[in-house]
Structure 1
Amino acid sequence: MIPSPEIAHARFLASRSQTTKAAGREYAATLETLPDGSTLRGVTARSASVAGRDALRVELTDQITTQGIPGVDYVDQPTYVELPVTLRTGSIEVDILSRLNRKTTFDSRAFAGIAFHASADASAFQSVYLRPLNGRKADPPPPRDRRAIQYFAYPEWPFDTLRDQRPDEGYEAAADIGPDEWITLNVRIDEDVITARVDGTAVLRVERLLAAPIDGAVGLFVDIGTEAFFSNLTISQ
């Protein structure tokens, strides 16, 4: 595997960094800059302005994009911005805009989403991510039109293994989304159920989790061929 870039730190808006409430813990970030204490795992991240707002632009490193191996360096691999917060159960919500970055001939779908339950060494994590080019607004052909949002568990259960061994068990679903537009993704994580909402509408409910829940890190996930922008992150438990 191509080594990840070294840990990166950046100044974060203090007023929006992290707050503690009596009823539980909440982490909120505008994502106008990279949160202080974040770790880059196979990705780059920088501030950018897009579609009327300031956001965090995330994509795979050029080295992984041009020299990486599918199933080793990308395609449901640990490629995300690891945030300085952990979560076992609770809710993660973030606005995402993703599109193709035109840096590869790989058949990308503008993959972007959320990683969670990530181990300290990134050897295991779970994820829910979007494929906006498979969304109804993009009018893709079947069966792509039923594959706009995906759950997977690294390392044993990437999307292609799920399709081969557990087809039609509810690990991916359709959604009314498209590329190059802001989408609000909310993932509710309970001990034995994960529910994903897109712009307030429930689109995916996973009742057969493929990994045990842990108090693990949360991340902003991207995959090959994608330029993703993240904004307005809230994590609560």
Structure 2
Amino acid sequence: MKNITPIIISCLLLGATHSHSQTVRLGQYELEAVSVSLAQERVKGKNTVKAVKDSVVKAVDEPTFIKVIGTDFKNGIIEVKVLSRLLKNAPEFARGFIGIAFRINDSNTKYESIYVRPTNARAEDQVRRNHTIQYYAYPDYKFDRLRKEAPERYESYTDMTLNQWITMRIEVKDTQAKLFINKHQQPSLVVNDLKHGAAHSGAIGLWVDIGTEGYFTDLKIIKQD
């Protein structure tokens, strides 16, 4: 995989500082910038990692993420606060794409992902609203194929907007994934047929796509059997 830059974040703490917290200290992990730029910034009172997709990657729904090394995740819970802004040179179709990739293999050629399009949530066009949340599986099941073959099954709506913290919590069990947004008690998206099946595990990634200035903080990972 091209454009991979290993970076050690030695001082950044994402989440609470008390010892019993389930928050992951990224200082204990090596971070790989996979086809994104990676930086540290303080945003709205929080220490964050910032990701911007490399401009050389023209296709969408690609492995463009900050890979959290050492997170061999199969089943459990991934929670992170995300905030996205549009870059000044973002194309018209940019939506503030930001989300989570999981079960990423070693070569970054196979994984599952759920992401959000914050600008869609408050569009006047109801069809766009229905496309606020998206699941896809790399490499064979990107959004356009899923939308064509199974309309509405892998997308849904929940209110959100740009430049505000959105808590994404994904609960994964074998071939099922549920996405919860903010403090909602019910999932905003349920995927019952993860395309790569239940057998594999892999790393977690903090994902962005074209036109997005993405920020991540308060990462929590809970592994389950």
Aligned pair partner of 2:37 in 44, 49, 68 = 44
Secondary structure of the residue aligned to 1:7 is strand
Secondary structure of the residue aligned to 2:129 is helix
Q: How many Å separate the matches in 1 of 2:51 and 2:195? A: 27
1:178 and 2:171 matched:
no
Question: Which runs of structure 1 show a deviation greater than 4 angstroms over 4 or more consecutive aligned residues?
Answer: 13-17
Residue identity in the other structure for 1:124: K
> 1:53-92 alignment to 2 at 5 Å?
53-61=46-54, 65=55, 67-70=56-59, 75-84=60-69, 85-92=71-78
Residue identity in the other structure for 2:62: Q
- Which string of whole-angstrom CA distances, capped at 9 and with x for unpartnered residues, describes residues 72-95 of structure 1? xxx100000110212000000000
Q: How many Å separate the matches in 2 of 1:95 and 1:15? A: 10
Task: Please tell me whether the aligned partners of residues 12 and 47 of structure 2 are also in contact (alpha carbons under 8 angstroms).
Answer: no
Of 97-106 and 146-155, more deviation after overlay is shown by: 97-106
In the alignment, which residue of structure 1 is the partner of 2:88? 102
Q: How many Å separate the matches in 2 of 1:99 and 1:15? A: 20
Shift of 1:4: 1.2
> 1:188-227 alignment to 2 at 5 Å?
188-201=171-184, 202-213=187-198, 214-227=200-213
Task: Please tell me whether the aligned partners of residues 96 and 162 of structure 2 are also in contact (alpha carbons under 8 angstroms).
Answer: yes
Task: Please tell me whether the aligned partners of residues 27 and 236 of structure 1 are also in contact (alpha carbons under 8 angstroms).
Answer: no
- Which string of whole-angstrom CA distances, capped at 9 and with x for unpartnered residues, describes residues 78-128 of structure 1? 000110212000000000010111233251100001000100000101101
Q: How many Å separate the matches in 2 of 1:205 and 1:176? A: 16
Q: How many Å separate the matches in 2 of 1:15 and 1:59? A: 19
In the alignment, which residue of structure 2 is the partner of 1:164? 148
After superposition, the CA RMSD in angstroms is 2.4
In the alignment, which residue of structure 2 is the partner of 1:235? 221
Task: Please tell me whether the aligned partners of residues 35 and 57 of structure 2 are also in contact (alpha carbons under 8 angstroms).
Answer: no
Shift of 1:36: 3.7
In the alignment, which residue of structure 2 is the partner of 1:11? 10
Q: How many Å separate the matches in 2 of 1:14 and 1:204? A: 29
Task: Please tell me whether the aligned partners of residues 42 and 60 of structure 1 are also in contact (alpha carbons under 8 angstroms).
Answer: yes
- Which string of whole-angstrom CA distances, capped at 9 and with x for unpartnered residues, describes residues 43-94 of structure 1? 1111112222221111112xxx2x4332xxxx10000011021200000000
Q: How many Å separate the matches in 2 of 1:16 and 1:111? A: 23
Percent identity between matched residues is: 29
Q: How many Å separate the matches in 2 of 1:35 and 1:130? A: 28
- Which string of whole-angstrom CA distances, capped at 9 and with x for unpartnered residues, describes residues 15-62 of structure 1? 979xxx9xxxx6613x6xx7641111001111112222221111112x
Task: Please tell me whether the aligned partners of residues 14 and 23 of structure 2 are also in contact (alpha carbons under 8 angstroms).
Answer: no
Q: How many Å separate the matches in 2 of 1:48 and 1:217? A: 24
Q: How many Å separate the matches in 1 of 2:23 and 2:80? A: 12
TM-score, scaled relative to structure 1: 0.84
In the alignment of these two chains, the number of paired residues is 217
Q: How many Å separate the matches in 2 of 1:15 and 1:50? A: 12
TM-score, scaled relative to structure 2: 0.88
Unpaired runs of 5+ residues, structure 1, are none
